[in-house]
C-alpha cells in the first residue's frame, strides 16, 4: 500500500468516492464555530512550491491547519537548476528537518513522481500540480463540486458521477487540470468531452477516455457541467490561435452560449479566470458559475486527502501506478 | 612476444578457424595453424569479428572531463570491442578548428586503447551560421573527413547546401543531426500517445523526417553524399529507402537504443531514458531493425553520450539528453538483430565495422579477417548471458538505460593492430 497522491489516474472508483465522502465530512467542519480537527496534531507538512501559486498553496495551508498540522511553506521560484540546488537536495534537506509529508508544486512534469519513487525521501508526496501533467486534488475538488451540485450533498454520499456529461473547454494541450479531470471523471463514470481548437489538443489524445470536439455550440446542449479552462493570452504569439477576439468568439462562454445549456447545468472554472477571454463577466458572476464554491470545496478535498493519507495507521488510498515501481 | 594464435574462432560466425597474428598484421587464417612461438588464445567457438568502428561517439574532452575523457572513452570503446571511434565535435571548445581536432587526435594516439578519428564541426561553434574551416581541419594532422554539428541540426538550407558542396573538394561527408529546431522547441520526448499523457513536450517524427527529406534532395541537387545520424523513425526509413532507390548518395546510422527501447519507458520519468532523438514507438523500432537488416540503414553507431550522475538524478525536464553505449552496443545488436534472425555475424561485421570505416574513410579498419590485413579484431562470447552492471563500466559515466537488463554476448578480447587491449573481458 503506497501513500502518495501523484496522478488522478492512480485512484480507483472506490478510492475517489471515499475521498469525496470524506470531504463531505470535512465540509461540515467549516460550518462549525471552531474550524479545527485534531487529526494531524504533531505532524509536519511541507508545502514545497517551485512554481508561483497563490490559491493552491493557500488552500493546502488552510486544509493542513484545520487538521492541526504544523505547516512549513517553502517557495522556490524557478527551476531547481536555475536555483543551483537540485530537487533531490531540497527535498532531503526538508525531510531532515522532520517533515511528515510533502505537498509539491513543480513546473516540470513528473517531478512529484520522481520525488515519490526515486528513493530520495520516505515521506508521502502529494502532487499539487506538475507541469502539464497532473493536478489530482483539483480534479477531486471539481468532481466534489459536480457531485454536490448535480447529485446533492447528502444524496451524493457513496455515489459517483455515472452518466453525467461533462465538457471541458480550452487549452487542453497545456492543461494539467484537463488531464486530471479526464482521468478522474472517467473513473467516476462520467462522459467527458473536450472542446478546443485543434492546435490546443495534444497529438495522441485519441487514446484518452473521452470525446473531442472542435465545436462548442453543438456540445453545450448536451452538457451537465461545462468547465472553462484558462487560456493564456501569450498562446496566440505561438500561433495556437490568431487573436484573442477570435478565440473568444469561437470558444469563449458568454451569456448567449450559457443559455443553450440545460437549465440544471453548471459552469465551472479552476481559476484564475481570464475574464473577456474564455469567460465573460456575465457568466462568471452568474448563479450557475461555481468558481467560488470550487475554492471552498478545495479546502475540504485537501483536508480529506491529507486525512486519508496521513491521519490513520493504514493509508486509505491504493496507488496502483506507483505500486508497480 | 609478437605472435598470437587465436585458436578455434568462428570467423564472422562461420566454421571454427585459427587466426595467426604476427606483429600488427594477420599472418594466416586456416585450420590447424602452428602455435610455435605464439601466445595462444583459445577461442573455443567464440565469434571473431573485425574490430568494431563507431562513427558517432562523444568523448567529451576537451571541456567535460567530468563525464568522459579521451582515455576513459577509448577504454570503454575497447571494452565494447571497438578499435576505432569517431569523436563528435560538440566539445568545449567546439572542434571547429584544426587546433582542437589535432588535440583530440593526439589524445587518442596517447590513449592507446583504440584509434580516435576526430569529426569536425560544420559551422563555427555549432551555431549554424558560418562554415568552420573545413579544409584546414581536413589538412590537419587529424585528417578530418567527417563533419557534423551533431547535437544541433544544420537547419539553414543554404548553409547545409554549401557544406555538402564544399567538402566535395576533398571527399568529405557531412553527417546531419536531423532535427527541425522550430518543431522541437521545448521537446522532451517523442510526440505521441505517451507524451500526451505525461504532459511532456513532444518531439514529433516529422521534425526529423522533414530535414532528412530536404537533405537527400539537396545532396542529389549538388551531387554530394550525405550521412544521416541516429535515424529514429519509420518515416525516416521510408525517405532514405526512396532516396537510395533514386540513386542519391545517402548513408544512415541507427543507435542500439533505438533498436530496442520505446517511449513507453518514459512513463517512469527516469531521465536515464532521456535521449535525443527520443525513444520512439514499437512500430519505429521494428521498422529500424528491418531497415538495418535490408541495408536501408547502413550502420549501427552508438551516440555514446556520457553524463555525470547529477545530470540524470533529477526531474525529467532538468536532465541531460543521452546515454552511454559503447560497452553495450554489440550485446544490444546481438539481442535485437542476430537472435531475431535479422542479421548474421557477417552482417554485424558489415554494419558495425566495415561500412562505418568506409563511410568515414578510415584506413586499416573494417577490413576482412584474412592474411595481410591489420590485426584489428574482436572476439565475442556470444553464448554469454548476463545482467548489465554499470559499476563494471570502463566509461567514466554510468548513464545506461540497460542497468539490470539481461543481454547476450560479451567481448572477451580486443586487438588493436595486433596488441591486446582487452583480455578475458578485462582491459589490458
Confidence check: pLDDT of B91 > 90: yes
Measured between CA atoms, the residue of chain A closest to residue B201 is A132
Look at residue B2 in the predicted model and tell me its pLDDT.
84
Q: Rounded to whole angstroms, how far apart are CA atoms A247 and A245?
A: 5
Measured between CA atoms, the residue of chain B closest to residue A112 is B315
The alpha carbon of A140 is separated from its chain's Cα centroid by a whole number of angstroms, namely 6
Using the beta-carbon criterion (under 8 Å), do A203 and B192 form an inter-chain contact? Answer: yes
Which of B268, B313, B315 has the CB atom closest to A111's CB atom? B315
Instruction: Enter the C-alpha cell of residue B294.
Output: 535490408
Q: How confident is the model at residue A8 (pLDDT cuts 50, 70, 90)?
A: very high
**Exposed, middle or buried: residue A69 (CB in 10 Å: 0-12, 13-18, 19+)?**
buried
Look at residue A86 in the predicted model and tell me its pLDDT.
85
Which of B193, B270, B314 has the CB atom closest to A80's CB atom? B314
Residue of B358 and A51 predicted with greater confidence: B358
Q: Are B6 and B379 in contact (CB under 8 A)?
A: yes
Q: Are B163 and B134 in contact (CB under 8 A)?
A: yes
Q: Rounded to whole angstroms, how far apart are CA atoms B58 and B399?
A: 13
What ipTM does the predicted assembly reach? 0.90
Average pLDDT over residues B199-224: 98
Q: Rounded to whole angstroms, how far apart are CA atoms A308 and A5?
A: 11
Q: Of the candidates A61, A94, A134, which has an alpha carbon nearest to the alpha carbon of residue A298?
A: A61
Phi, psi of B324 (to 5 degrees): -75, 155
Tell me the chain B residues in contact with residue A114 when contact means C-beta distances shorter than 8 Å: 269-270, 314-316
In this structure, the answer to whether residues A113 and A152 fall within a common structural domain is no
Which of A109, A204, A208 has the CB atom closest to B317's CB atom? A109
Look at residue A83 in the predicted model and tell me its pLDDT.
55
In this structure, the answer to whether residues A285 and A143 fall within a common structural domain is yes
Please report whether residue A170 resides in a domain: yes
Q: Rounded to whole angstroms, how far apart are CA atoms B87 and B76?
A: 13
Q: Rounded to whole angstroms, how far apart are CA atoms B243 and B12?
A: 30
In this structure, the answer to whether residues A22 and A127 fall within a common structural domain is yes
Look at residue A185 in the predicted model and tell me its pLDDT.
98
Catalytic residue among B150, B215, B303, B311: B303
Is B268 in the A-facing interface, judged by CB distances under 8 Å?
yes
Q: What is the tens place of the pLDDT at every residue in A156-206? A: 999 999 999 999 999 999 999 999 999 999 999 999 999 999 999 999 999
In this structure, the answer to whether residues A209 and A277 fall within a common structural domain is yes
Using the beta-carbon criterion (under 8 Å), do A114 and B316 form an inter-chain contact? Answer: yes
Look at residue A35 in the predicted model and tell me its pLDDT.
87
Please report whether residue A306 resides in a domain: yes
Taking only residues 347 to 376 of chain B, the set having a beta carbon closer than 8 angstroms to any beta carbon of chain A reads none
Domain count for chain A: 2
Q: Are B120 and B144 in contact (CB under 8 A)?
A: yes
Q: How confident is the model at residue A111 (pLDDT cuts 50, 70, 90)?
A: very high
Tell me the chain A residues in contact with residue B310 when contact means C-beta distances shorter than 8 Å: 86
Q: What is the tens place of the pLDDT at every residue in B359-397? A: 999 999 999 999 999 999 999 999 999 999 999 999 999
Using the beta-carbon criterion (under 8 Å), do A131 and B317 form an inter-chain contact? Answer: yes
Task: State how far residue A33 is from chain B, nearest Cα, in angstroms.
Answer: 42
In this structure, the answer to whether residues A289 and A300 fall within a common structural domain is no
Average pLDDT over residues A320-325: 41
Instruction: Enter the C-alpha cell of residue B388.
Output: 548489465
Q: Rounded to whole angstroms, how far apart are CA atoms B97 and B375?
A: 32
CATH number at residue A108: 3.40.50.1370
Confidence check: pLDDT of A278 > 80: yes
Q: Are B342 and B289 in contact (CB under 8 A)?
A: yes
Task: State how far residue A204 is from chain B, nearest Cα, in angstroms.
Answer: 4
Burial A179-213 (b: 16+ CB within 10 A, else e): bbbbbbbbbbebbbbbbbbeebbbebbeebebeee
Look at residue A315 in the predicted model and tell me its pLDDT.
47
Confidence check: pLDDT of A321 > 70: no
DSSP A182-208: HHHHHHTT-EEEEE--GGGS-TTGGGS
Look at residue A26 in the predicted model and tell me its pLDDT.
95
Pairing status of strand A225-228 against strand A165-169:
parallel
Look at residue B181 in the predicted model and tell me its pLDDT.
98
Q: Rounded to whole angstroms, how far apart are CA atoms B409 and B173?
A: 33
Average pLDDT over residues B231-256: 98
The single residue listed with the C-alpha cell 596517447 is B110
Tell me the chain B residues in contact with residue A208 when contact means C-beta distances shorter than 8 Å: 196-197
Q: What is the tens place of the pLDDT at every residue in A237-270? A: 789 999 999 999 999 999 999 999 999 999 999 9
Helix H or strand E encompassing A9:
none
Average pLDDT over residues A75-88: 67
Q: What is the tens place of the pLDDT at every residue in B293-310? A: 999 999 999 999 999 999
Tell me the chain B residues in contact with residue A81 when contact means C-beta distances shorter than 8 Å: 314, 318
Using the beta-carbon criterion (under 8 Å), do B199 and A207 form an inter-chain contact? Answer: no
Task: State how far residue B178 is from chain A, nearest Cα, in angstroms.
Answer: 21
In this structure, the answer to whether residues A118 and A181 fall within a common structural domain is no
Pairing status of strand B189-190 against strand B226-228:
unpaired
Taking the CB of residue A218, how many other CB atoms lie within 10 A of it? Answer: 12
Q: How confident is the model at residue A312 (pLDDT cuts 50, 70, 90)?
A: low
Confidence check: pLDDT of A77 > 70: no
Helix H or strand E encompassing A305:
helix A291-306
Q: How confident is the model at residue B261 (pLDDT cuts 50, 70, 90)?
A: very high
Tally of helices (H runs) and strands (E runs) in chain B? 12, 19
Look at residue B424 in the predicted model and tell me its pLDDT.
97
Helix H or strand E encompassing B408:
strand B406-416
In this structure, the answer to whether residues A143 and A287 fall within a common structural domain is yes
Average model confidence (pLDDT) across chain A: 91
DSSP B353: I
- Cβ-based neighbours of A215, under 8 Å, separated by 6 or more: A195
- Bridge partners of A192? A166
Q: How confident is the model at residue A79 (pLDDT cuts 50, 70, 90)?
A: very low
Please report whether residue A83 resides in a domain: yes
- Cβ-Cβ contacts under 8 Å between A and B: the total is 86
In order of their start, the domains of chain B are 3-47+373-427 (2.30.40.10), 52-359 (3.20.20.140)
Q: How confident is the model at residue A31 (pLDDT cuts 50, 70, 90)?
A: confident
Q: Rounded to whole angstroms, how far apart are CA atoms A278 and A283?
A: 10
Q: Rounded to whole angstroms, how far apart are CA atoms B269 and B317?
A: 9
**Exposed, middle or buried: residue A89 (CB in 10 Å: 0-12, 13-18, 19+)?**
middle
In this structure, the answer to whether residues A227 and A244 fall within a common structural domain is yes
Q: Rounded to whole angstroms, how far apart are CA atoms B81 and B21?
A: 17
Q: Of the candidates B295, B300, B155, B290, which has an alpha carbon nearest to the alpha carbon of residue B234?
A: B290
- Cβ-based neighbours of B364, under 8 Å, separated by 6 or more: B115, B374, B376, B417
Average pLDDT over residues A277-294: 96
Task: State how far residue A110 is from chain B, nearest Cα, in angstroms.
Answer: 6
Average model confidence (pLDDT) across chain B: 97
Tell me the chain A residues in contact with residue B196 when contact means C-beta distances shorter than 8 Å: 202-205, 207-208
In this structure, the answer to whether residues A154 and A174 fall within a common structural domain is yes
CA distances from A303 to A22, A188, A297, B38, B49 (A): 9, 20, 10, 79, 65
Q: Rounded to whole angstroms, how far apart are CA atoms B230 and A267?
A: 49
Q: Are B309 and B319 in contact (CB under 8 A)?
A: no
Q: In what order do the strands lie in the sheet with A101-106?
A: A70-75, A44-49, A101-106, A125-130
Q: Of the candidates B418, B359, B397, B393, which has an alpha carbon nearest to the alpha carbon of residue B55?
A: B359
Taking the CB of residue A176, how many other CB atoms lie within 10 A of it? Answer: 23
Percent of chain B with pLDDT over 70: 100
Look at residue A2 in the predicted model and tell me its pLDDT.
55
Percent of chain A with pLDDT over 70: 93
Please report whether residue A3 resides in a domain: no
Please report whether residue A23 resides in a domain: yes
Please report whether residue A101 resides in a domain: yes
Please report whether residue A285 resides in a domain: yes
Is B193 in the A-facing interface, judged by CB distances under 8 Å?
yes
Look at residue A237 in the predicted model and tell me its pLDDT.
76
Which of A114, A131, A205 has the CB atom closest to B199's CB atom? A131
Pairing status of strand B377-387 against strand B47-50:
antiparallel
Look at residue A317 in the predicted model and tell me its pLDDT.
52
Count how many Cα atoms sit within 13 Å of the Cα of residue A144 in the half-sphere of its side chain: 32
Domain containing A210 equals: 137-293
Coil, helix or strand at residue A50:
coil
Pairing status of strand B426-427 against strand B419-423:
antiparallel
In this structure, the answer to whether residues A147 and A285 fall within a common structural domain is yes
Look at residue A320 in the predicted model and tell me its pLDDT.
43
Percent of chain B with pLDDT over 90: 99
Respond yes or no on whether the N-terminal peptide bond of residue A9 is cis (omega within 30° of 0). no
Q: Is B96 a catalytic residue?
A: no
Average pLDDT over residues A20-34: 92
In this structure, the answer to whether residues A122 and A152 fall within a common structural domain is no
Measured between CA atoms, the residue of chain B closest to residue A203 is B192
In this structure, the answer to whether residues A92 and A63 fall within a common structural domain is yes
Instruction: Enter the C-alpha cell of residue A164.
Output: 453525467
Confidence check: pLDDT of A1 > 50: no
Tally of helices (H runs) and strands (E runs) in chain A? 13, 9
Give the torsion sign (CA, A283, A286, A292, A294): negative
Amino acid at each position: 500500500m503506497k501513500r502518495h497522491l501523484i496522478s488522478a489516474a492512480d485512484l480507483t472508483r472506490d478510492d475517489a468516492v471515499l475521498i469525496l465522502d470524506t470531504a463531505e465530512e470535512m465540509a461540515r467542519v467549516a460550518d462549525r464555530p471552531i474550524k479545527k480537527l485534531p487529526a494531524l496534531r504533531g505532524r509536519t507538512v511541507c508545502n514545497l512550491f517551485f512554481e508561483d501559486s497563490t490559491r493552491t498553496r493557500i488552500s493546502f495551508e488552510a486544509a493542513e491547519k484545520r487538521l492541526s498540522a504544523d505547516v512549513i511553506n517553502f517557495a522556490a521560484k524557478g527551476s531547481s537548476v536555475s536555483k543551483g540546488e537540485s530537487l533531490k537536495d531540497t527535498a532531503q534537506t526538508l525531510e531532515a528537518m522532520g517533515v511528515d509529508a510533502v505537498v509539491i508544486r513543480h513546473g516540470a512534469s513528473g517531478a512529484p513522481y520522481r520525488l515519490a519513487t526515486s528513493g530520495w525521501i520516505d515521506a508521502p508526496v502529494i502532487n499539487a500540480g506538475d507541469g502539464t501533467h497532473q493536478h489530482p486534488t483539483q480534479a477531486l475538488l471539481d468532481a466534489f463540486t459536480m457531485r454536490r451540485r448535480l447529485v446533492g450533498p447528502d444524496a451524493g454520499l457513496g455515489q459517483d458521477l455515472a452518466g453525467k456529461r461533462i465538457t471541458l473547454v480550452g487549452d487542453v494541450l497545456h492543461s494539467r487540470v484537463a488531464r486530471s479531470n479526464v482521468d478522474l471523471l472517467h473513473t467516476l463514470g462520467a462522459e467527458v468531452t473536450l472542446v478546443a481548437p485543434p492546435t490546443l489538443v495534444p497529438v495522441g489524445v485519441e487514446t484518452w477516455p473521452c470525446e473531442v470536439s472542435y465545436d462548442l455550440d453543438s456540445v453545450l446542449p448536451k452538457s451537465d457541467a461545462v468547465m472553462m479552462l484558462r487560456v493564456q493570452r501569450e498562446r496566440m504569439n505561438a500561433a495556437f490561435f490568431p487573436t484573442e477576439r477570435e478565440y473568444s468568439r469561437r470558444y469563449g462562454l458568454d451569456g448567449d452560449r450559457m443559455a443553450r445549456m440545460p437549465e440544471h447545468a453548471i459552469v465551472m472554472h479552476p481559476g484564475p479566470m481570464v475574464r473577456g477571454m474564455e469567460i465573460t463577466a456575465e457568466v462568471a458572476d452568474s448563479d450557475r458559475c461555481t468558481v467560488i464554491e470550487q475554492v471552498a470545496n478545495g479546502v475540504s478535498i485537501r483536508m480529506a486527502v491529507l486525512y486519508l493519507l496521513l491521519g490513520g495507521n493504514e493509508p486509505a488510498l491504493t496507488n496502483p501506478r506507483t505500486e508497480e515501481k | 612476444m609478437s605472435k598470437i594464435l587465436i585458436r578455434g574462432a568462428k570467423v564472422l560466425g562461420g566454421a571454427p578457424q585459427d587466426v595467426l597474428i604476427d606483429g600488427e598484421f594477420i599472418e594466416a587464417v586456416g585450420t590447424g595453424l602452428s602455435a610455435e612461438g605464439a601466445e595462444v588464445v583459445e577461442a573455443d567457438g567464440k565469434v571473431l569479428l573485425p574490430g568494431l568502428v563507431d562513427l558517432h561517439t562523444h568523448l567529451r574532452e576537451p571541456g567535460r572531463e567530468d563525464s568522459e575523457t579521451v582515455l576513459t572513452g577509448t577504454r570503454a570503446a575497447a571494452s565494447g570491442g571497438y578499435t576505432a571511434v569517431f569523436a563528435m565535435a560538440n566539445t568545449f571548445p567546439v572542434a571547429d578548428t584544426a587546433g582542437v581536432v589535432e588535440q583530440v587526435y593526439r589524445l587518442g594516439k596517447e590513449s592507446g586503447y583504440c584509434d580516435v578519428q576526430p569529426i569536425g564541426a560544420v559551422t563555427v561553434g555549432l551555431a549554424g551560421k558560418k562554415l568552420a574551416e573545413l579544409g584546414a581541419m581536413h589538412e590537419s594532422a587529424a585528417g578530418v573527413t567527417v563533419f557534423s554539428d551533431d547535437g544541433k541540426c544544420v537547419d539553414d538550407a543554404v548553409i547545409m547546401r554549401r557544406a555538402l558542396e564544399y567538402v566535395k573538394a576533398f571527399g568529405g561527408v557531412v553527417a546531419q543531426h536531423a532535427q527541425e529546431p522550430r518543431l522541437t522547441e521545448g521537446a522532451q520526448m517523442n510526440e505521441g500517445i505517451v507524451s500526451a499523457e505525461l504532459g511532456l513536450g513532444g518531439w514529433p517524427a516529422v521534425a526529423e523526417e522533414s530535414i532528412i527529406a530536404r537533405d537527400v534532395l539537396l545532396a542529389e541537387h549538388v551531387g554530394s553524399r550525405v550521412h544521416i545520424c541516429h535515424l529514429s523513425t519509420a518515416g525516416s526509413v521510408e525517405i532514405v529507402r526512396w532516396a537510395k532507390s533514386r540513386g542519391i548518395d545517402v548513408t544512415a546510422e541507427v543507435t542500439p537504443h533505438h533498436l530496442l527501447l520505446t517511449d513507453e519507458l518514459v512513463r517512469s520519468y527516469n531521465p536515464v531514458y532521456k535521449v535525443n532523438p527520443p525513444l520512439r514507438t514499437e512500430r519505429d523500432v521494428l521498422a529500424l531493425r528491418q531497415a538495418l537488416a535490408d541495408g536501408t540503414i547502413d550502420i549501427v553507431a552508438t551516440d555514446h553520450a556520457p553524463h555525470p550522475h547529477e545530470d540524470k538524478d533529477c526531474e525529467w525536464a532538468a536532465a541531460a539528453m543521452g546515454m552511454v553505449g559503447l560497452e553495450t552496443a554489440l550485446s544490444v545488436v546481438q539481442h535485437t538483430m542476430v537472435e531475431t534472425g535479422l542479421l548474421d555475424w557477417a552482417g554485424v561485421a558489415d554494419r558495425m565495422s566495415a561500412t562505418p570505416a568506409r563511410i568515414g574513410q578510415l584506413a586499416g579498419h573494417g577490413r576482412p579477417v584474412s592474411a595481410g590485413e591489420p590485426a584489428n579484431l574482436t572476439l565475442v562470447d556470444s553464448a554469454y548471458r548476463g545482467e548489465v552492471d554499470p559499476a563494471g563500466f570502463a566509461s567514466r559515466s554510468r548513464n545506461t538505460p540497460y542497468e539490470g537488463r539481461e543481454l547476450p554476448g560479451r567481448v572477451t578480447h580486443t586487438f588493436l593492430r595486433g596488441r591486446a587491449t582487452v583480455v578475458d573481458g578485462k582491459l589490458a
